[in-house]
Amino acid sequence: MILKNPSISAEYDLPDEDQSGQSSSTNSSEKGIKPKKLNISGLIEYSTPDRLSRLIELSYQTENGGAKKLYRVANATANVINLREAVFSGKVSVSPHSTLLAWQISFTLSERKSVPEKRETRARERAQENGDETVDAVGEEMPEETAEKEERSWFEENILAPVNDALG
């Protein structure tokens, strides 16, 4: 998506709940790692209405089962926070810019198939295979190296990684 004056910010929640009751304790319970989000805003010039139409079209697309279409995200901010696949979520905003001949647009992409989500799924599958229904999937540790390898595409693994290693 080509935008003029793009602004991309990332955010994610690490919710927890106070467990101290009436005491001075600092105990809290974790509520899982929530999906990362990219907040994107920018301008689309009036002279390129096809770009705005394409953005709207992309935001409405769904998969065969009716779920929102999953998109690969290629952006430096997304790479830093390890966000690779996302769907449109929340609000898509389009309004005329006050001084330029352009639309001011903003939208949010929300992560899908995150590393923590995959860890939980694998832990549940292992627990079911072993017949252990009481395993807490959230607490499973997984080496970062393994998680990173599973997340890489063929292009990243065979082209980008060797170039990155060579550059240092």
Looking at every residue in the chain, the average pLDDT score rounds to 81
What are 122's two structure tokens? 């694998």
Count structural domains, the chain.
Answer: 1
**pLDDT exceeds cutoff 90 at 149:** no
Examine residue 68 and state whether it is found in any structural domain, yes or no: yes
For residues 5 and 21, what is the distance between their CA atoms, to the nearest angstrom?
48
State the first-to-last Cα distance of the chain, in angstroms, to the nearest integer.
30
- pLDDT tier at 145, thresholds 50, 70, 90: very low
pLDDT of residue 134: 54
pLDDT of residue 143: 47
Examine residue 139 and state whether it is found in any structural domain, yes or no: no
Mean pLDDT of 97-108: 96
For residues 152 and 157, what is the distance between their CA atoms, to the nearest angstrom?
6
- From the list 15, 76, 10, 74, the residue with the least C-alpha distance to 40 is 10
Mean pLDDT of 22-41: 79
Examine residue 71 and state whether it is found in any structural domain, yes or no: yes
- pLDDT tier at 19, thresholds 50, 70, 90: low
What is the domain extent for residue 84?
A: 1-17+29-112
pLDDT of residue 133: 57
Q: In a 10 Å sphere around its CB, with 0-12 CB exposed, 13-18 middle and 19+ buried, how is residue 98 labelled? A: exposed
Long-range contacts formed by 118-125: CB under 8 A, 24+ apart: 118/147, 118/150, 119/147
What are 39's two structure tokens? 């907040």
Could you count the other beta carbons within 10 Å of the beta carbon of residue 61?
12
**pLDDT exceeds cutoff 90 at 98:** yes
Mean pLDDT of 111-134: 76
Pick the more confident residue, 88 or 167: 88
The answer, as to whether pTM is greater than 0.85, is: no
**pLDDT exceeds cutoff 60 at 18:** yes
Least confident interval from 35-44, 100-109, 140-149: 140-149
